[in-house]
Structure 1
Amino acid sequence: MLADAIRSEAYRLFQNRTAVFWSVFFVPIAGLAISIISQLLIQSKAVKINGANLPVELGGPLDLGQALASSAGDLANPAILAFVLIGAATLYAGDYRWETWRLISARNSRPNLLLGKVGVVKLLTLAAMLVFLLAASMADVAKAAIFDRPMAFTFGAEQAADFALLFLLSFVRVVQFLMISLLAATVTRSLVAALFVPLVLGVAQSFLGGPLAGPLGLETGDWLTQLLVPGLAFDTLKALIQGGMAAAAMPDGLALKALTSLALWTLAPLAAAIGWFSRQDLSKE
């Protein structure tokens, strides 16, 4: 029955080409265009200043494997979070908006209906992340072509492990962000709330973990700080995976706090949404 819910929700979402475009393709296309234009401008200015001799940092070899592994850490950037939210909010709140819940709620259990939407949103997230990686690789190839740089592809076991962990971490972060939209949609029955509540909460949390942390006495390594700011928990785990001085300076036990924060911010909104939806009156929806 859950598989039926996923198939039906996937069909409905992917018939909405506008939502799919903005959620999956807009950010990669825009990012690729901006990258190519900026590299062309840099190249033209560098040639005017230095003649045919480009600076060393613009003319060295370009390792596409290293760049790919690095791009995996950028998959949960604010642009992807915001634009994937368009498709997620449309899926979560669409039945409230068009008053179609009463037509489909008799065909499956309520938890399955909601979990079907969550499953499709996960597929949407994966699609957006993969297209973003493809666009990032195309931008690197364009950079090599513009600056006439030799290309290599180094992707050993260490790079593969970092890539897999960063990709998984970014996926969890995006899904965690979208669970807030699910809860907002079920409680308010509003597409606008499903769109803007996660954005407003995300901005508030970024201030809480940034400029307001000092005045409020919040320390990065504290349980309270990590639990209040899932974005900070994501940054903590990302730094630990990437290693370096930042990871070495982190106190022991910080990874557990960050993992707990992401898990709670993912599972608690999902459980609350299912519980609320299971007791909701849908006779007018």
Structure 2
Amino acid sequence: MLADALRAEAYRFSLNRLQVFVSVVLVPLLFAIGGVLFHMVSKSKGDEAAGKIGLALPASVEPINLAEAFSFAASGSANGVILICMLIGAATIYAGDYRWESWRLISARNDRVSLILAKVGLVKMLAIGVSLLFLAASFVFLIAEAVVYQRGMNFAMDGAEAGRAALIGLLSYVRIVQFTMIALLTAVMTRSLLAALFVPWALGFVQGIVGTAMPLLGWEPQMWLPQLLLPGLAYDTLKAAVAPGALPAPYSDGTVWRSLTGLSLWTILSLVGALAWFRRQDLSKE
């Protein structure tokens, strides 16, 4: 039942090519193109400045380490632009059946839990897709740097670095899913595509303001309350814990557990709340 619903959701969403492009392809593509242009412009400006003073810039002999693409992509695949673009796709998936009044047509063909979980599964697949494309764009960025500056390329990464990149990539993936879970809960509660788009963005904006105002509120980053209320802070804390070296003061090992709890609750409670609300919802007119 769940597999059938997932295939149906994936097929329906694949027909909306604009949404697929905006949600998954747009940001990695812009990053790749922008990276190439950045290196070309930087090289041109550097040569121009050196020519004006009669100097020749020495060619760098240090090769570009392509393995850095994994760490860069893992850390950046949950950036704000990707979150917003993923939100557009997620809101369409979660609220589209309310918008087009098609719930009453498909809810008779599958159980409600499977229908919601299929939508969640599709969003998770899109999150994996955008992460992989951002990794590919990171490789393009580094290769372009090597080509433009005529530097060699190598690939050097030990087990510890690979493990850190994998963990940070997993955290970024969870962060994307957590952010889109707010759209799921909003869509089910409001039956509105506009609300599913606006509420997660507005909530994230407010949380960002609260995060910068923590000293005024008398909060410390390692306290339970900010770690539970601010999933972005929890995500950043966990990334810092995975990075080389211990968490900076005043963080402690207990802060990691608070961050894990906060990020997990925002993800799990949103899903549970959406499932509970949807199971009791009247879809006769949707």
Given that residues 209 and 232 in structure 1 are in contact (C-alpha distance below 8 angstroms), is that contact kept between their aligned partners in structure 2?
yes
* Pairwise CA distance, 1:230: 0.3
Distance 1:260 1:224, change over 3 A: same
Amino acid at match of 1:40: M
SS at match of 2:221: coil
Amino acid at match of 1:50: A
Amino acid at match of 2:4: D
* Pairwise CA distance, 1:18: 0.8
Provide the C-alpha distance between the structure 2 equivalents of 1:245 and 1:46, rounded to a whole number of angstroms.
38
Provide the C-alpha distance between the structure 1 equivalents of 2:225 and 2:58, rounded to a whole number of angstroms.
47
* Pairwise CA distance, 1:246: 4.8
Correspondent of 1:191 among 165, 190, 193: 193
Q: Counterparts in 2 of 1:24-103, with a 5 A limit?
A: 24-51=24-51, 53-54=56-57, 60-103=62-105
* Pairwise CA distance, 1:249: 5.7
Distance 1:10 1:108, change over 3 A: same
Provide the C-alpha distance between the structure 2 equivalents of 1:217 and 1:223, rounded to a whole number of angstroms.
13
Q: Counterparts in 2 of 1:271-282, with a 5 A limit?
A: 271-282=272-283
Given that residues 66 and 159 in structure 1 are in contact (C-alpha distance below 8 angstroms), is that contact kept between their aligned partners in structure 2?
no
User: Paired residue for 2:217?
Assistant: 216
* Pairwise CA distance, 1:241: 0.7
Distance 1:177 1:44, change over 3 A: same
Given that residues 59 and 147 in structure 1 are in contact (C-alpha distance below 8 angstroms), is that contact kept between their aligned partners in structure 2?
no
Given that residues 72 and 138 in structure 2 are in contact (C-alpha distance below 8 angstroms), is that contact kept between their aligned partners in structure 1?
no
User: Paired residue for 1:175?
Assistant: 177
Q: Which blocks of at least 5 consecutive residues in structure 2 are unaligned? A: none
Percent identical pairs in the alignment equals 49
Alignment TM-score, normalising by the size of structure 2: 0.95
User: Paired residue for 1:204?
Assistant: 206
Q: Counterparts in 2 of 1:137-152, with a 5 A limit?
A: 137-152=139-154
Given that residues 94 and 187 in structure 2 are in contact (C-alpha distance below 8 angstroms), is that contact kept between their aligned partners in structure 1?
yes
Please give the per-residue CA displacement for 1:6-44, whole angstroms capped at 9, x wherever unaligned.
111111111111100001110011111222212211111
Q: Counterparts in 2 of 1:84-123, with a 5 A limit?
A: 84-123=86-125
Provide the C-alpha distance between the structure 2 equivalents of 1:278 and 1:226, rounded to a whole number of angstroms.
30
* Pairwise CA distance, 1:93: 0.6
Given that residues 222 and 250 in structure 2 are in contact (C-alpha distance below 8 angstroms), is that contact kept between their aligned partners in structure 1?
no
* Pairwise CA distance, 1:234: 0.3
Provide the C-alpha distance between the structure 2 equivalents of 1:284 and 1:161, rounded to a whole number of angstroms.
50
Provide the C-alpha distance between the structure 2 equivalents of 1:36 and 1:159, rounded to a whole number of angstroms.
26
Please give the per-residue CA displacement for 1:238-271, whole angstroms capped at 9, x wherever unaligned.
0111123654762231110000001000000111
Please give the per-residue CA displacement for 1:128-152, whole angstroms capped at 9, x wherever unaligned.
1111110111111011111112111
Distance 1:54 1:184, change over 3 A: farther
* Pairwise CA distance, 1:49: 2.1
Please give the per-residue CA displacement for 1:93-148, whole angstroms capped at 9, x wherever unaligned.
11001000000111111111101100011001111111111011111101111111
Provide the C-alpha distance between the structure 1 equivalents of 2:248 and 2:238, rounded to a whole number of angstroms.
9
Please give the per-residue CA displacement for 1:151-208, whole angstroms capped at 9, x wherever unaligned.
1101221122112101111000000000000001111111111111111111111111
SS at match of 1:253: helix
SS at match of 1:215: helix
SS at match of 1:209: helix
Given that residues 231 and 263 in structure 2 are in contact (C-alpha distance below 8 angstroms), is that contact kept between their aligned partners in structure 1?
yes
**What is the total number of aligned residue pairs between the two structures?**
283
Amino acid at match of 2:149: F
Provide the C-alpha distance between the structure 1 equivalents of 2:89 and 2:131, rounded to a whole number of angstroms.
14
Amino acid at match of 2:38: S
Alignment TM-score, normalising by the size of structure 1: 0.95
Provide the C-alpha distance between the structure 1 equivalents of 2:188 and 2:47, rounded to a whole number of angstroms.
56
Amino acid at match of 1:223: W
Distance 1:55 1:122, change over 3 A: farther
TM-align CA RMSD: 1.6
Distance 1:259 1:245, change over 3 A: closer
Amino acid at match of 2:100: W
